[in-house]
Amino acid sequence: MSAFAPVRLVQEAAQLPPAPLADAIDSLSLAPVVRTVVVVAIGVPLLYVAAKWTRRWVAHHMNLQAGLVAGKLVFYLGVTILAISTLREMGFSLAPLLGAAGVLGIALGFASQTSVSNVISGLFLIAERPFVVDDLIEVGGVLGRVMSIDTISVQLRTFDNRMVRIPNETLVKSQVINITRFPIRRVDVQVRVSLREDAARVRHLLLEIADRNPLSLMEPKPIVVFERFGESSMDFMLGIWTVQGNYLAIKNSIQEEIKRRFDAEGIEIPFPHRTIHVGSASETFPVELPDGARRGSLDEPV
C-alpha cells in the first residue's frame, strides 16, 4: 500500500482540471502573504508621497508649521489604515484585537500620560501660535531658532549649533519669549560715565551717535534714560530701534562708536572706585609705618 501511494496521488492530480495560478497559491495558503507584501510595498511609498505632498500644499497655502502637522497627521492616519489592512489580509480578526486593545488602552493610557499631555499641548501650541518655525525664542534660559514643531516636542537650534528638544507640555507651562515676532526691535545699551560729567551733554552726545548710525531707525526715535546715580557713575540707557536683522550689527557698532566719541570728547567711562575715610570725612586715612621702615615714593621701584 505504502509503496504504491505516490503513484496513485500523481494519477489523481493528473485527473484534476487545470487550476489558475491564484488558486494554486491559495491552495498553498500563500495568497494572504503575497497580498500583504503587495499592500505594504505599494502602500508605504504612497504614504510617504501623500504625506510629503500634503505638507507642501498646506505649507504653501497656510504656513510651514501647519504643513508639518498636516503631513504628520496624514502619515500616521495612513499607517493606521495600512496596519489594519495588513492584519486583515493576514487573516486576523479585528474584533478580539479591539477587545484586547481596550484593556491594553487603559494600561497604555496610564503609562503614556506624559506623551498624551505633550500631544494635547502641541495642539494648543498650533492653535495659539506663540511662535512659528524659524522664530527666535527663549525658553527657560535657552535661546534658539525653532527648527520644527512636532507632535510631542519642539526642536530648537542654539547659536552654538546644538539641538535642544523641549516637550510641548513644558512650553505650554513656561514663559516663552518670542524675540523675532515683531519686525523692529529696540537695542538697549547701558552707558556709565563719571559723576563729574555733564549729564545733559552726555545725553546729547548719545542721541547724536544714535542718529548717525546708519542702522538706527529715525522713527521710533532713539531714547536716552538717565537711570540712576551709581556708586561710581551716572548710569544711562541708550535705546535704539532697528529692524530685526540688524540687531547684532548695531549692538556692536554703537558701542564702538560710543567709546570712540567719548574718548574724543574727553568723557570718562569710570571704573569702580571707593574713597575710605576714617572718623572724619575730611581727614586722610592714617598710615603708621613700622620701626625702621623707610618712607618711600610711588616713583621708586618696589
Partner 1 sequence: MATAGFWGDLALAPGRSETLDYGTLRLMVERTQREVWLHIGRASGDDGEGEALRRWAIPEAARLSVRPAAPDRLVVVSQEHPFHLPSHAEARVYVRIPLFVRVVASWPGSSELVIADVPSIVLSDTWWGTFTEGELAYWLTTTARAEVSDDVFLPHVAMCPFRFANRSEEALPVERFAVRVPHLTIFADGARMWTDEVRVRYAAAAEGSEIGFGGRPPAESPNAERVAAPRIPTRRRFHARTFGRLLGF
Binding residues for partner 1 (CB under 8 A): 182-184, 211-212, 214-220, 223, 241, 243
Tell me the C-alpha distance between 82 and 25, whole Å. 23
Q: Least Å distance between CB 45 and partner 1?
A: 42
Least Å from the CB of residue 215 to partner 1: 7
Shortest CB 174 distance to partner 1, Å: 23
Rounded to the nearest whole angstrom, what is the least distance from the CB of residue 181 to partner 1 in the complex? 8
CB 238, min distance to partner 1, A: 14
Q: Which is nearer to partner 1, 96 or 214 (CB)?
A: 214
User: Which CB sits closer to partner 1, 241 or 262?
Assistant: 241
Pick between residue 140 and residue 220 the one whose CB is nearest to partner 1: 220
As a whole number of angstroms, the distance between CA 191 and CA 258 comes to 9
**Secondary element (H or E) of residue 21:** helix 21-27
d(Cα 183, Cα 173) in Å, to the nearest integer? Answer: 26
**Residues 6 or more apart whose Cβ sits within 8 Å of residue 238:** 188, 189, 191, 206, 209, 210, 222, 223, 224, 254, 258
Which of 238, 252, 153, 136 has its CA nearest to residue 192?
238
Closer to partner 1 by Cβ: residue 65 or 242: 242
String of DSSP letters for 164-213: EEEEHHHHHHS-EEESSSSSEEEEEEEEEE-TTS-HHHHHHHHHHHHHH-
Nearer to partner 1, 151 or 253 (CB): 253
**What phi and psi values does residue 11 have, to the nearest 5 degrees?**
-65, -40
- Of 183 and 292, CB closest to partner 1: 183
**Of 204 and 212, CB closest to partner 1:** 212
**Sheet containing 176-178: order of strands:** 163-167, 153-158, 142-149, 136-139, 176-178
- Give the shortest CB-252-to-partner 1 separation in angstroms: 16
Bridge-based pairing of strands 153-158 and 163-167 is: antiparallel
The minimum distance between CB 214 and partner 1, in angstroms, equals 5
Helix axes 64-89, 113-128, angle to 10 degrees: 140
Place of cell 492584519: 87
